[in-house]
Each structure stands twice: as structure tokens, then as C-alpha cells.
Structure 1
Amino acid sequence: MKTRQHDSSVYEQVQSSERFQELKRRFRAWTFPMTVAFLVWYLLYVVLSGWARDFMGIKVLGNINVALIFGVLQFVSTFGIAWAYSRHAEKKLDPIADEIRHDIEGKSE
């Protein structure tokens, strides 16, 4: 039976490994800039809605105004980011995570 000390030492070894550090670096290199970009995009919408009402109220087509287009684009960008992250994870993160998991499972047998 495994002891708690054994489990924690495995996790400590994994966390200090180069492959895990590479996994964290790749995750952060994509996630942090994308998070900042999305927050800026979201806050732009909020700021324009509050302080540029005339601009946001410009009718583009019929009763469709700039604010409505920006609002719909918020949803589109959210789904786009989720799709892009899925592709990034599949190509750049999952192979390393699978390798790390395989190594851990091999050591625990």
C-alpha cells in the first residue's frame, strides 16, 4: 500500500522535472496573454458602453447598432478563444501531459 509520503514525493519530483516546467511554461505563454487580450476587449466594450454612448448607438443596419455588434462579438470571441485553446492544448500541452502521466504510472507500478 502506498503511503502519503510516497505520493507527495512523486508529485514533488514531477513538479521539479524539466518536462513539467516546460508544460507550465507553454500553458502560461498562451493563457496569460490571451487572458489579458480578452479582458482588454471586454473592458473596451464596457467602457464604450458607458462613455461613448453616441458611438455605440450608431445604427449600422436597420435597428442593429454598434453596441449590438460588439455584444455579439463578445460571444463570438469567447467561443473562438475556447476553440483556439483546445487546439493549442491538443498540440502543445496534451503530448507533454500524457508523457508525464505515463512516466508517473510507470514509476508507481
Structure 2
Amino acid sequence: MTDSRIDGAPKGAIDYIAVEESAPFRELKRRQRSFVFPFAVAFLVWYFAYVLLSSFAPGFMAQPVSGAITVGLLIGLGQFVTTFAITMGYVAYANRRLDPLAEQMRTDLERSERGEA
């Protein structure tokens, strides 16, 4: 039995290891990570700041802003707003920067699978 990593994929089949090592795929991963990692870190910092403030600054979090609305409540609701904003930003980024490259890669792979040039 031959190892497809050495001999490549059979004729007409897609060599997924070669695809993963290709420049377009590496670029797609780079673009995706350039968005995801910074926003994940920023959101985790924002989230843990809320948790730490809740634990270690209850007086600050309990300060009323307007009526029964407190600083803690506003920050907590801000977590939801931030989640939706990041999601919407990622969808827009993916539509603009990731999807065209992924679509081109898929088209190229489908052509090669059919044996077209």
C-alpha cells in the first residue's frame, strides 16, 4: 500500500495535504487568524475585566447610573453588544477577505478533480 503523502493523490482525486501546504491555503489561514486572534484576545481581556471587577470592585459595579441601572449592569450588557459586534465584523471581514479566496480555491480544486487544466 502506498502512502498518499509520498506519492500524492490518485489521478482525479484531491491531494488534501498538498492543498493544505499550498500558498493560497496558507494565505487563507493567515487572513483568518489575523482577525480571530486579536479579537479573541481583546474579548477575553474585556470579559475577565468584567469578572474581576465583579469580584474585587463590587462598590464600583454597584454604583447607580440612572435609577436601578448600575455600572455592572451596563458593563454586563456591553458583553452582549460586544459579542454581536465582533460577530457582525467577522462576517463582513469573511465576506470581503476570506470568501473570495476560498471560492477561488474551491473552483480550482473542482477543476483539477474533473481533470481540467
User: Normalised by the size of structure 1, how large is the TM-score?
Assistant: 0.92
Maintained 8 Å contact 1:26/1:92: yes
Indicate the residue corresponding to 2:102 in structure 1: 97
Which residue, 60, 79, 83 being the options, matches 2:84? 79
From the CA coordinates, give the structure whose radius of gyration is larger.
Answer: 2
Determine if the alignment matches structure 1 residue 27 to structure 2 residue 32: yes
Q: Which amino acid aligns with 1:42?
A: Y
How do 1:1-109 and structure 2 match up within 5 A? 5=4, 6=9, 10-109=15-114
Q: Deviations over 1:36-69 (max 9, x none)?
A: 0000000000000000000000000000000000
Query: How many percent of aligned residue pairs carry the same amino acid?
Result: 45
User: Normalised by the size of structure 2, how large is the TM-score?
Assistant: 0.86
Please report how far the alpha carbon of residue 15 of structure 1 lies from its aligned counterpart in structure 2 after TM superposition. 0.8
Structure 2 portions without partners, runs of 5+? none
Q: Tell me which stretches of 4 or more aligned residues in structure 1 moved more than 6 Å.
A: none
Residue aligned with 1:60, SS: strand
Q: Which amino acid aligns with 1:56?
A: M
Task: Measure, in 2, the Cα distance between the counterparts of 1:9 and 1:87.
Answer: 30
Structure 1 portions without partners, runs of 5+? none
Maintained 8 Å contact 1:10/1:104: no
Higher helix share: 1
Please report how far the alpha carbon of residue 16 of structure 1 lies from its aligned counterpart in structure 2 after TM superposition. 1.1
Q: Deviations over 1:56-106 (max 9, x none)?
A: 000000000000000110000000000000000000000010011111101
Q: Which amino acid aligns with 1:30?
A: F
Please report how far the alpha carbon of residue 19 of structure 1 lies from its aligned counterpart in structure 2 after TM superposition. 0.6
Please report how far the alpha carbon of residue 13 of structure 1 lies from its aligned counterpart in structure 2 after TM superposition. 1.4
